[in-house]
Structure 1
C-alpha cells in the first residue's frame, strides 16, 4: 500500500538535493519578483522589464547549449512553443503588473492557487477524472483567493485591478503547466526555457521602442539580476524534479511566501494582513490536499 507522503525512511540521499533545489528556486523567484517591483517603481515599463528578464535569462543556459550544441534546443513542436510562450509571457506580465500594485506576499498567496486551477483545467483539456474531494478542495482554494484578495478586489481602484491581474496571471500560468504536461513527452526543460526567452525577446522587442527608457548603471544591474535569477530558478526547478519525485518537492514551493513576505518587509515596508495570511493557509491546505490526491491515484 502506498502512502500519500514519503516517510523519512523512504527518502533517498538525492531527494535532499531535490528539496534544496526547490527551496533555492522559490527563493530566487521571490527575489526576481522583488527586483521587478523595484524597476517598475522606478518607472520602467513592464515591457522593458520582461524583455531584459528574457535576455539576461538566457545567460544561465549558455553552458548547457555550449555543451549540448544546437541539438539541445531543437524542437519538434515549434508552434506549440509559440502558443505556450505567448501565454506564459502574458502570465508573467500580469504577475509583474500585480506586484507593482500589491504587496509581494499577497500576489504570491494568490499564485498558490495554480495547482487548483491545473486540476480544474485537466478535466476539459487532458480528459482527466477529478474526484469530488478534489473539486471541494478547488472550491475551498478559490474561497481562500477571495480572502487573500480582500474587499479591495471588488473595488474599482488600483488595488482591485492588482488582485484581478494576479488571478489572471495564476490562471494563465496553470494553463501553461497543463500545456507543458503534453510538451514534456518530447521537449526537454532547457528547450522550453530557451524558446520562451527567445520568443519573449521577439514579442517584447517589437514594442520596446515605444516604451524605451535608457537605464542608468543601477537599473542595468537590476535588469541583469532579474533575468539571471529567473533563468537559474527555472533550471533549478527542472533539477528538483529530476532528483526527487514532484510530489515530494512541490510542497516546498510554499516557502516562496516566506521569502516574498520578508523581501516585501525589508524593501517596501509591506506587512502581510490577516486576510493574506489566513487566505494563504486555506489555499496552501487545498493545494496540499490536491497533491496528496494526485499521488494516491
Structure 2
C-alpha cells in the first residue's frame, strides 16, 4: 500500500472514530447532567478498563515495558484531566459549542507534533488550520451572542482548557499508538483515568442509578471502540494528517445535540461548519510526487 493510500485509510478510520466518540459525548453529557462530570468519567473509565482487561488477559497479553507504560500514564493523565473538564463544560453549553471550542486542540497539536515528534508542518496544513480556526471563531461568536450566562461562560472556559490538554494527549497518542496495539491503548487509557480519579471517590463519588446503566454501558462500548480506532489510525499516519479530522466532530455534535437535547443550530454554526470542512480538505491535501518509470532498470 502506498504512503498516500495508507494516510487516506488512516484518515477515514480516524473520522469514523470521531463520529462514534461524538455519539458517546451525547451519552456522557446526559450522565454529567444527571450525576456530575466526575461520576460520569469515573464510572465510564472503570467499566471500560474492566471490559478491556478481560479481553487483554484472555488473549494472553503481557504487561507493557516501563517505557511504554510511561506513555500510557502520561496520556492517561492528560486525557483524564481533559475529559473531566470537557464534560463539566459540556453539561453547561450546547454540544455544538462545546465541541467547537475543542477544535483549538488540533491546531495546538500541529505545532506540538513539530516540537516533540520532529514532524515537518506542511504549508497546506497551516493554511487549512487557519481556515478551520476562522470557522471555530464564527461558531463561538454566534453561540456566545445567543447565550452569555455565567454558567455558559464557565462551561466554555472549561472546554478551552480541555482542548489544551487534549492537544497534549493527541501527541502522546501518536507515540503511544506506535508502541502498543489498539486494545492495550484503550485498556490503559481507561485504567489510568479511573485510577487518577478514584482517590476522590469518598468525597465526590456516587453509585450510578439503575436507570443510568444502559447509557453508561453504551458510553463505555462506544468510547472504547473510538479509542481503538484512533489508536489504529495514529499508528499509521502523522499527527498533522489526522489532527484536522477532529473538526468533523462538530457536524456529529450538532446532530447529536439536536436529537438528544433539542439544541438548535444557528446560521453562525452553519457558516462555521462550512469553513471547518473547507479547512480540513485543505489541511489534508498532499502533493503526490510523480512516479518515475523504472523500465529497463
Q: TM-score range by the shorter chain?
A: 0.7 to 0.9
- Which residue among 34, 39, 42 is the counterpart of 2:31? 39
- Which residue among 2, 16, 22 is the counterpart of 1:30? 22
Decide which moves more: 177-186 or 29-38. 177-186
CA spacing shift, 1:75–1:187, aligned 2, 3 Å? farther
- Which residue among 230, 254, 258 is the counterpart of 1:261? 254
- Matched residue, 2:166: 173
- Does residue 1:288 correspond to 2:291, yes or no? no
Any unmatched runs of 5+ in structure 1? none
- Does residue 1:68 correspond to 2:54, yes or no? no
- Matched residue, 1:93: 84
* 1:211-250 Cα deviation digits (max 9, x unpaired): 2233321123322222222112222334567899999988
2:200 partner SS:
helix
- Does residue 1:119 correspond to 2:110, yes or no? yes
Quick one: distance in 1 between partners of 2:155 and 2:246? 22
Is residue 148–residue 276 contact of structure 1 (8 Å, CA) maintained in 2?
A: yes
Is residue 85–residue 199 contact of structure 1 (8 Å, CA) maintained in 2?
A: yes
- Matched residue, 2:190: 197
How far did 1:202 drift? 1.2
Is residue 73–residue 194 contact of structure 1 (8 Å, CA) maintained in 2?
A: no
How far did 1:198 drift? 1.3
Any unmatched runs of 5+ in structure 2? 290-297
Quick one: distance in 2 between partners of 1:142 and 1:291? 15
Is residue 144–residue 279 contact of structure 1 (8 Å, CA) maintained in 2?
A: yes
Q: TM-score, normalised by structure 1?
A: 0.79
Root-mean-square deviation (CA, aligned residues, Å) is: 3.7
